[in-house]
Amino acid sequence: MREIELLIVAWSLSLDAFAAAVCKGMAEKHMDLRGACRIGTWFGAFQAGMPAAGYALGKCFSQAIARYDHYVTLVLLSCLGANMLREAGKEETHSAGLGFAKLFPLALATSMDALTAGVTFAFFEVNIFFASLVTGACTFVMSAFGAFLGHRVTGRCRRLACILGGGILIGMGIRSFLLHTGML
């Protein structure tokens, strides 16, 4: 796989993290550069680690991984989306911060496709260290920018943003499930 192809794959893998980061930025009451970088770091680290994990597992268990990743993605993204919808109904629509409990499941859910990509990297003899580094860096930039951009939606738009963001996360989970099961 050439460098330009790897950049396209890395960018593609970062798009769901970008969308989730925009939604997270919209839901936060306060967002500064440090918060945006924190979101970018969580998403970037998971997107960097998952291809390496997928690569290692792909050497041994490629069919078993491909069989179940879409279920995990569907459940995690749907639960996170449902939580955003629930928060939209509250008087105060910001999330409870940027801690482990909020960012870990979101970073995990948005990086499941990178795990699958890592499995395929094993078959193409890709330099996994370089691929993981590029994927993580691309995701960090896209996610930090997305969180900062998403926070620019203010006032009355926050409730709508939580509803829209929750719907997007649920839709991403359903889409991933349908693609992997061949229904789409």
pLDDT at 153: 67
Q: Is pLDDT above 90 for 45?
A: yes
User: Residue 7 above 70 pLDDT?
Assistant: yes
- Find the mean pLDDT for residues 39-54: 94
Which residues have a Cβ under 8 Å from the Cβ of 40 and sit 6 or more positions away? Answer: 21, 139, 140, 141, 142, 143, 144, 145, 147
> What would the two tokens of residue 79 be?
């639960």
Q: What is the pLDDT of residue 77?
A: 67
3-state secondary structure of 158: helix
Q: What is the mean pLDDT of residues 126-147?
A: 93
How far apart CA 14 and CA 23 sit, in angstroms, is 14
Q: Average pLDDT, stretch 117-135?
A: 85
Identity of the amino acid at 72? V
* pLDDT tens track for 70-113: 776 677 667 767 766 776 666 544 455 777 877 888 888 888 87
Cα angle 67, 72, 78; round to 5? 135
Tell me the C-alpha distance between 46 and 23, whole Å: 18
Write the CA distances from 181 to 29, 61, 71, 74, 109, integer angstroms: 38, 18, 10, 12, 18
Quote the pTM value. Answer: 0.71
Hey, which of 5-9, 57-61, 138-142, 153-157 has the most confident mean pLDDT?
138-142
State which H helix or E strand residue 48 sits in. helix 33-88
pLDDT for 93: 42
Decide if 25 contacts 36 (C-beta within 8 A).
yes
Q: Is the dihedral of CA 89, 101, 77, 41 positive or negative?
A: positive
> Cβ distance 106 to 85 under 8 Å?
no
Name the band, by pLDDT with cuts 50, 70 and 90, for residue 130.
very high
Has residue 39 got a pLDDT over 80?
Answer: yes
